[in-house]
Amino acid sequence: MSAVLDAPVDALSERLGERLVAWQVTADGIPTAWVAAGDAPTVLADLKNAGYAMLYDLTAIDERHRKHRDGQPPADFAVVYHLLSVRDNADVRIKVALQGEHPSLPTATGVWTTANWYEREVWDLFGVRVEGSSATEGASRARDRDGAIPTAGRKAGCRAGGDALQAGRVGAGEPG
């Protein structure tokens, strides 16, 4: 059996070393590590070389209204990479905390070319710029019929779904 299966947290802690910002305990039991944005591409490449060959998912979380963040780094947004080792039947989740008015992080397309699609979604849905990704370079975000960006936005209190959804102007059968 591999070290990934024998002691996932210990093995990953050793592999990540000083790049590890924090561990997060999760309900699903998947080892979840927080790393700095600048370290993400190196960490992802290292984990891919260690057997986590599949980028299973890449998404973001709007953390601005989240409560109960014990032990987690401060974040306005978190970008989440879910990696899978088919060889070891093991999962690991890498999270990157982002703060500020214009959150960004480096692309993962040098590790997985398929990250390009996911990175476009992170840009479109959360406004997180992915530096070096052709999916977000020069891209402008979609706007609703009132000219507002319909997702996370930057106004305090604006939640995913945007103002049109909160105001009840988007409903069943209506164009969004």
Under the banding of pLDDT at 50, 70 and 90, the label for residue 134 is: confident
Pick from 160, 155, 156, 113: which is nearest to 133 by CA? 113
**SS (HEC) of 61-109:** EECCCCCCCCCCCCCCEEEEEEEEECCCCEEEEEEEEECCCCCEEECCC
The Cα–Cα gap between 81 and 60 comes to 9
Q: Over range 76-104, report the average pLDDT.
A: 95
Question: Please, what is the average pLDDT of the chain?
Answer: 79
CB neighbour class for 33 (10 Å; exposed up to 12, middle 13-18, buried from 19): buried
The Cα–Cα gap between 57 and 100 comes to 24
Superfamily (CATH) of domain 3-140: NADH:ubiquinone oxidoreductase Nqo5 subunit (3.30.460.80)
> At residue 92, does pLDDT exceed 90?
yes
Q: Over range 128-136, report the average pLDDT.
A: 83
Q: Over range 95-103, report the average pLDDT.
A: 94
> Are the C-beta atoms of 163 and 151 separated by less than 8 Å?
no
Domain with CATH 3.30.460.80 in the chain: 3-140
The reported pLDDT for the residue numbered 135 is 65
The reported pLDDT for the residue numbered 150 is 53
Q: What is the DSSP letter of 12?
A: H
The reported pLDDT for the residue numbered 144 is 57
Cα 26 versus chain centre, distance: 16
The reported pLDDT for the residue numbered 140 is 57
Query: What pTM did the predictor assign?
Result: 0.75
17-47 pLDDT, tens digit per residue, is 888 888 888 889 899 999 999 999 999 999 9
